Amino acid sequence: MLKEDFVIQSNIRRMLIRTSIDCSRIDFGTVKGVVYIRGIFQISNPPADGDEAKTVHLTIHALYSLEKKVKSIPGVVDVNFQFFNWRKERGHWVPVDVREKEGEDENKPESNL
Protein backbone atom coordinates (compact mmCIF):
# COMPACT_ATOMS: atom_id res chain seq x y z
CA MET A 1 0.00 0.00 0.00
CA LEU A 2 1.27 3.46 -0.86
CA LYS A 3 2.13 5.76 2.02
CA GLU A 4 0.65 9.18 2.04
CA ASP A 5 2.65 12.00 0.44
CA PHE A 6 2.46 14.16 3.55
CA VAL A 7 3.95 11.37 5.68
CA ILE A 8 6.78 10.95 3.15
CA GLN A 9 7.31 14.71 3.06
CA SER A 10 7.53 14.86 6.89
CA ASN A 11 10.05 12.02 6.89
CA ILE A 12 12.22 13.72 4.28
CA ARG A 13 12.18 16.97 6.23
CA ARG A 14 13.38 15.16 9.35
CA MET A 15 15.91 13.04 7.48
CA LEU A 16 17.48 16.01 5.63
CA ILE A 17 18.10 17.95 8.83
CA ARG A 18 19.69 14.93 10.50
CA THR A 19 22.22 14.48 7.71
CA SER A 20 25.46 16.36 7.09
CA ILE A 21 23.84 18.33 4.25
CA ASP A 22 23.53 22.10 4.14
CA CYS A 23 19.74 22.27 3.82
CA SER A 24 19.50 26.04 3.45
CA ARG A 25 19.58 25.86 -0.35
CA ILE A 26 17.60 22.69 -0.84
CA ASP A 27 13.91 22.38 -1.63
CA PHE A 28 11.82 19.23 -1.89
CA GLY A 29 8.38 17.96 -2.80
CA THR A 30 6.44 14.70 -3.04
CA VAL A 31 3.96 13.63 -5.69
CA LYS A 32 2.33 10.19 -5.50
CA GLY A 33 5.37 8.72 -3.80
CA VAL A 34 7.85 10.35 -6.18
CA VAL A 35 10.22 12.61 -4.26
CA TYR A 36 11.76 15.69 -5.89
CA ILE A 37 14.85 17.24 -4.34
CA ARG A 38 16.23 20.37 -5.87
CA GLY A 39 18.75 23.14 -5.24
CA ILE A 40 22.41 23.50 -4.46
CA PHE A 41 23.87 20.44 -2.81
CA GLN A 42 26.62 21.10 -0.24
CA ILE A 43 27.82 19.33 2.86
CA SER A 44 27.42 21.33 6.06
CA ASN A 45 30.87 20.58 7.48
CA PRO A 46 33.49 20.71 4.73
CA PRO A 47 37.08 19.90 5.80
CA ALA A 48 38.64 22.74 7.78
CA ASP A 49 41.84 22.64 5.68
CA GLY A 50 39.83 23.54 2.56
CA ASP A 51 41.08 20.46 0.70
CA GLU A 52 38.92 20.45 -2.45
CA ALA A 53 39.48 16.80 -3.35
CA LYS A 54 38.45 15.76 0.15
CA THR A 55 35.34 17.97 -0.06
CA VAL A 56 34.34 16.40 -3.38
CA HIS A 57 34.86 12.92 -1.96
CA LEU A 58 32.74 13.70 1.12
CA THR A 59 30.05 15.32 -1.03
CA ILE A 60 29.79 12.27 -3.29
CA HIS A 61 29.52 10.06 -0.23
CA ALA A 62 26.76 12.31 1.15
CA LEU A 63 24.89 12.16 -2.18
CA TYR A 64 24.87 8.36 -2.29
CA SER A 65 23.88 8.27 1.35
CA LEU A 66 21.02 10.72 0.74
CA GLU A 67 19.78 8.66 -2.20
CA LYS A 68 19.80 5.50 -0.12
CA LYS A 69 18.04 7.16 2.82
CA VAL A 70 15.29 8.72 0.70
CA LYS A 71 14.63 5.42 -1.09
CA SER A 72 14.40 3.62 2.24
CA ILE A 73 11.49 5.82 3.40
CA PRO A 74 8.33 3.68 3.22
CA GLY A 75 6.11 4.65 0.30
CA VAL A 76 8.82 6.31 -1.79
CA VAL A 77 8.58 4.91 -5.32
CA ASP A 78 11.24 7.05 -6.97
CA VAL A 79 13.57 10.00 -6.33
CA ASN A 80 14.23 12.79 -8.77
CA PHE A 81 17.31 14.85 -7.95
CA GLN A 82 17.54 18.24 -9.62
CA PHE A 83 20.70 19.70 -8.17
CA PHE A 84 22.26 22.65 -9.92
CA ASN A 85 25.77 21.66 -8.94
CA TRP A 86 25.64 17.85 -9.11
CA ARG A 87 24.26 15.44 -11.70
CA LYS A 88 24.05 11.67 -11.84
CA GLU A 89 25.54 10.26 -15.03
CA ARG A 90 25.55 6.52 -15.69
CA GLY A 91 25.15 5.78 -12.01
CA HIS A 92 27.89 8.18 -10.87
CA TRP A 93 27.58 11.61 -9.28
CA VAL A 94 29.55 14.29 -11.10
CA PRO A 95 29.94 18.00 -10.28
CA VAL A 96 28.35 20.58 -12.59
CA ASP A 97 29.45 24.16 -13.21
CA VAL A 98 27.16 26.02 -10.76
CA ARG A 99 27.38 29.43 -12.39
CA GLU A 100 26.10 28.03 -15.66
CA LYS A 101 23.22 26.13 -14.02
CA GLU A 102 22.25 28.87 -11.56
CA GLY A 103 21.83 31.27 -14.43
CA GLU A 104 19.25 28.90 -15.89
CA ASP A 105 17.10 29.11 -12.81
CA GLU A 106 17.31 32.38 -10.98
CA ASN A 107 13.82 32.08 -9.55
CA LYS A 108 14.36 29.12 -7.32
CA PRO A 109 12.06 29.35 -4.32
CA GLU A 110 13.35 29.62 -0.78
CA SER A 111 14.18 26.42 1.02
CA ASN A 112 11.09 24.90 2.64
CA LEU A 113 12.94 23.40 5.58
Partner 1 sequence: MRTSRNLIYKRILGEVEKEVQLHPNYADLQNQFALLLMVKGEMEKAKNHFLEALRLNPKYREAILNLGFLYLEMRRWKEAEEIFLPEAKQYPKDGFIHHVLGILYLRAGKQKEAVAQIYKSIRYHPFYRDYYKRKGVLRKGVIRLDQKAERALKEIHLNFHYAQFQNFIGLYLAKKGKSTQAIHELRKAARLKPDEFIFHANLGTVHTYQGAYLRAIQEFQKALKIDPCYGMGYANLSYVYGLMCRTREALRCMKKAVHMSPQHADLHYNLALLYSDRRRYEEAAIELKKALRINPDYLFARINLGVLYEDQERWKEARREYRKILQITPDDEHIRKRLERIS
Query: Can you give the binding site for partner 1, defined by CB under 8 A?
Result: 3-7, 9-11, 13-14, 17-18, 27-32, 34, 36, 38, 78, 80, 82, 105, 107-109, 112
**Considering beta carbons, is residue 9 or 53 the nearer one to partner 1?**
9
User: What is the C-alpha separation between 76 and 44, in angstroms, rounded?
Assistant: 25
Q: Which is nearer to partner 1, 1 or 53 (CB)?
A: 1
Q: With respect to partner 1, which residue has the nearer C-beta, 28 or 53? A: 28
104/113 Cα distance (integer angstroms): 23
Q: How far is the CB of 74 from partner 1 (least distance, A)?
A: 9
Nearest approach in angstroms of CB 87 to partner 1 is 9
The string of DSSP letters for 49-99 reads T--HHHHHHHHHHHHHHHHHHHHTSTT--EEEEEESSEEEETTEEEE--HH
